[in-house]
Structure 1
Amino acid sequence: MHDLYFWYNQSAQMRKQFILIFLLVMGFQTGYANGDSWNKIVSEGKGVVKFYWYPNNVIIANSRDIIDGIEHDLAVSFVSYLEAMYNVDIELQWIETKSFDEVMNTVKDGSGGTFGASSISITPNRSRVYNFTEPYMADVAVLVSNASMPIALSESQLASILKESSAVSIRNTTLVESLQKLKGQLDITFDIRYVKNSGNIIDYINDNPNTFGYVDIANFLVAIESSSNVKRQFLFPVKLEGLAMVFPKNSDWTIPVNDYFNSARFQEDRQEIITKFLGSNATEIINRISKTAEMGPLEEIVLSNREKEAQYEMLLEAARKDQESTKLTTILSSIIAVALVVILLVFLLYKIKSRNNEQLLEQQKMIEERNSQLRSINEEKNNLIQVLAHDLRSPISNILNGSQIIQERENLSDDGSKIIGFIIQSSEKLNKLIDKILDVDAIETGRHNVQLESFPIHQIISRALEDNSAKAKTKNITLSEDISTDLNVKADKVYTTQVIDNLLSNAIKYSDEETTVEISAMIVNDMIRISVKDQGPGLSEDDQKKIFRKYQRLSAKPTKGEESLGLGLSIVKLFTERMGGFVTFDTKLGQGTTFHVSLRKG
């Protein structure tokens, strides 16, 4: 009997422990579960997508950060679009995290329909770890300070002001990275205090003298409507690629995400939602800034004019409150004095605004004239390039054909053969340069149409390897391939040939003698990913920023003195994106670079 009682007690304790562990595990899984894969939702007709966010409630009325509301409404529109387009039922769930890092780590380790929405800036480092949607808003941060601090007119003056003050920011964001960079640019040090979000940055600076920090342009435009103690410093604005939402690299949601974020519906939703939360004036400013590479003079004028309008409205509001307070008194002279002051202020502000508007119109007219001149010069440049390229091609072709005939028919000496060979090689090189220049010009001017069709990728790769084999042989470089014959892509054959040829040619050009260049193709996230790996010098951080720009010279040089026009990789990115794909790369200094081209499956 004693043994039976002991066994019963032990079993009860084990059952309690098992239930406790089960509840803990289920709680953990519920808090950090992944959304459903796109394939599952399509096959079953329903599923769940999860958005992880930080820091506030996504209902904008309860949020201090304006971006939360914009991202919430965009996510709702995204799900609504997919439900209508694919006839599925998708449940949208929002999961609040404890930190910005938790959002990013959850998405990085997640899969399927797992998204992050927390005013996330697109950066090269993040792009290697996450998939980004198309940006929904320009990512511009401006430097703001408490009104007790003077407005700096030069970098040296700004340095002397900030080194006596304290900064405020958000941990592990591009805002705090911008502050750290500012320290180096001005060669100063200052303390940084941390808050939860951009709204808290505005509040902190508004309430504390001698404080400053970076805030995103959207929250700044809202702040100037209500925070009278927050002023903008006109120096060192920061512009990145854009604000977007993230999802895992291994997610199969790439196609539905691209379907919506590359659609006209997204542009309409984006315009409507941003206008809803920021107003038409702020939306116009953000749209103007998003079309430029950086904050230019015209954007600075428009933003400054909006600040002056907000200050004018605040002054009128203050004057109105003053008038209301004077109604509590019975002294007629005080009422008259206040009325006169208000009238004087309104008159002066009207004159100032009129003068500013006149200056703005003059500056806009001057900028428009300059833009017209630049467009004219650009057109002339394009026409000149076309004329020169076409006019050069004919005599070069004649030289090439004549040289080839001489080489085939004449009994030449060794020196003569070398000279003719050099002429043929140089003529072919010039023809290739002309082809590249005309290709880029045709794409940029819209004269080249994309012809998408399904075809085996191994055919294009085999031809490219054969075309580049002689070039590789001159440097004893081994060309290695790992491609299945059953992989089909949906792309333009001409574009795809040019992309792969450019990548192979570039890899050979920057590789040392007696190394290996590898090319492979595989299915990744429902796309065909073609990878070209070299054993070259790798890319520095500076080279990584300009690798896809036209006519750029990199710090790495061709290993055998080969010529480089600086167009090859810009053509790769341009052609790939025109076919609905994208380009990424992995690199390490001293160990080489691997370029990945992802195209749709055929």
Structure 2
Amino acid sequence: MLPRASFIFSLLLGSWLLSACAPEPVVDSTHLGADQGDSYQLAQQQRRASLTVLYVPAEGFAYYDAAGELTGVSVDIMHDFVRWAGQHHQLQLELNFVAETDWQHFYQRIMHAEGGVFGLGNVTITEARKQELQFSPPYMNNVAALISHQDVPELTDWQQFNHHFAELSPLAFTGTLHEVRIRRLRDQHQPGEAIQRASSNPELLELVASGDYYSYVDAYNYWRARQAGMPLRDHPMAAETDETFGFIMPHSNDWAQFMLAFFAADGGYRQTESYHQIMHRHLGPELAELLLSNAP
């Protein structure tokens, strides 16, 4: 369950931004052909490959640091993948990062990409999505938090929902698993209430902070919003911890087994010191430990 905000945020250091930085212009794939990258089969022949990596800018996961370098949890894991390929398989890999700020567009671009293309967008692994694209092994366990304005009393019993949330409307990030959660919650407690929709996490957080809505959001986005001073509250009894994030690939990508080997090497990549350092460096010790504690 998600720890109480009053305890968590007194431990956090530094300030967190609500929106990620993306200095370069975003590529509009509607005017181009499908995104492409070299195949693993070609890499085995030439001992080198150029891979395309689409990413959704997100503070902590794929963002530009003070030195102007693209970094973050997802980005650094991909760099570890490149180092592993070189050290253990003598493959020289080049990563070409491309920003895509629209999550729905990002997902569609990966679905229709060709060959060695990877997507970094904190995509929850589900059986339905496996029909549309390929996933890497999980790189992180997620905590989904139910949030409201901070003036809403904390839920300690589901029977309190209709009273505490009586004046609030359900809000969902379109196309995400959180939309499914909100719909399920709405159907159970507010049947017939219209679900309002947001197209980004910053928009969703601003709307919840207005005091008119409740929603689900990933724990790290909630933490950063609170640290930035937004008047939000989470409701730990409603937190969900049973989902994982994976990198996504089109079905035409033949690197999936090679990436599986990377995550399995040396007793499991997520058990390595490098992975734990990446989580702590980009998410901070408290948030990193919360997410690491949910890992298998």
- TM-score when normalising by structure 2: 0.77
Q: Map of 1:101-116 to 2, 5 A cutoff? A: 101-116=104-119
Q: Map of 1:146-161 to 2, 5 A cutoff? A: 146-161=149-164
Q: For 2:92 and 2:58, how far apart are their aligned partners in 1?
A: 27
Is the aligned partner of 1:194 residue 2:181? no
Question: Per the alignment, in what secondary structure is the counterpart of residue 178 of structure 1?
Answer: helix
Could you tell me how far 1:190 is from its partner in structure 2?
4.5
Partner of 1:89: 92
Could you tell me how far 1:203 is from its partner in structure 2?
4.0
Alignment CA distance shift 1:170-1:69 (3 Å): farther
Q: Map of 1:59-458 to 2, 5 A cutoff? A: 59-61=63-65, 69-97=72-100, 99-188=102-191, 189-197=193-201, 199-206=202-209, 208-227=210-229, 229-264=231-266, 266-267=269-270, 268=272, 269-291=274-296
Alignment CA distance shift 1:192-1:162 (3 Å): farther
Could you tell me how far 1:119 is from its partner in structure 2?
0.9
Q: For 2:216 and 2:190, how far apart are their aligned partners in 1?
A: 18
Q: Is the 8 A contact 1:120 1:243 kept in 2?
A: yes
Alignment CA distance shift 1:191-1:126 (3 Å): closer
Q: For 1:70 and 1:167, how far apart are their aligned partners in 2?
A: 31
Could you say what the CA RMSD is over the residues aligned between the two structures, in angstroms? 2.7
Q: Aligned letter for 1:272? A: Q
Alignment CA distance shift 1:279-1:49 (3 Å): same
Q: Is the 8 A contact 1:202 1:223 kept in 2?
A: yes
Alignment CA distance shift 1:50-1:36 (3 Å): same
Could you tell me how far 1:102 is from its partner in structure 2?
2.2
Q: Per-residue displacement from partner, 1:274-298 (whole Å, max 9, x unpaired)?
A: 111222222222122234xxxxxxx
Q: For 1:228 and 1:108, how far apart are their aligned partners in 2?
A: 35
Q: Is the 8 A contact 1:162 1:190 kept in 2?
A: no
Q: Is the 8 A contact 2:174 2:197 kept in 1?
A: no
Query: Would you tell me which structure has more helix in proportion to its own residues?
Result: 1
Query: Would you tell me which structure has more strand in proportion to its own residues?
Result: 2
Q: For 2:72 and 2:178, how far apart are their aligned partners in 1?
A: 20
Q: Is the 8 A contact 2:137 2:246 kept in 1?
A: yes
Figure out how many residues of one structure are paired with residues of the other and give that number: 259
Unaligned regions of 5+ residues in structure 1, if any?
1-24, 63-67, 292-602
Q: Is the 8 A contact 1:178 1:238 kept in 2?
A: no
Q: Aligned letter for 2:169? A: S
Q: Is the 8 A contact 1:122 1:240 kept in 2?
A: no
Higher relative contact order (CA 8 A, sep 6+): 2
Larger Cα Rg: Structure 1 or Structure 2?
A: 1
Structure 1 residues 112-121 or 220-229, which shifts more? 220-229
Q: Per-residue displacement from partner, 1:358-381 (whole Å, max 9, x unpaired)?
A: xxxxxxxxxxxxxxxxxxxxxxxx
Structure 1 residues 239-248 or 114-123, which shifts more? 239-248
Partner of 2:32: 28
Q: For 1:201 and 1:227, how far apart are their aligned partners in 2?
A: 15
Is the aligned partner of 1:51 residue 2:53? yes
Q: Aligned letter for 1:276? A: R
Q: Aligned letter for 1:245? A: F
Q: Is the 8 A contact 2:183 2:195 kept in 1?
A: no
Q: For 1:111 and 1:88, how far apart are their aligned partners in 2?
A: 20
Question: Per the alignment, in what secondary structure is the counterpart of residue 37 of structure 2?
Answer: coil
Q: Aligned letter for 1:39? A: Q
Q: For 1:107 and 1:195, how far apart are their aligned partners in 2?
A: 19
Alignment CA distance shift 1:181-1:52 (3 Å): same
Aligned residues with identical type, % of pairs: 19
Question: Per the alignment, in what secondary structure is the counterpart of residue 262 of structure 1?
Answer: helix
Alignment CA distance shift 1:148-1:235 (3 Å): same
Q: For 2:166 and 2:194, how far apart are their aligned partners in 1?
A: 6
Q: For 1:191 and 1:102, how far apart are their aligned partners in 2?
A: 22
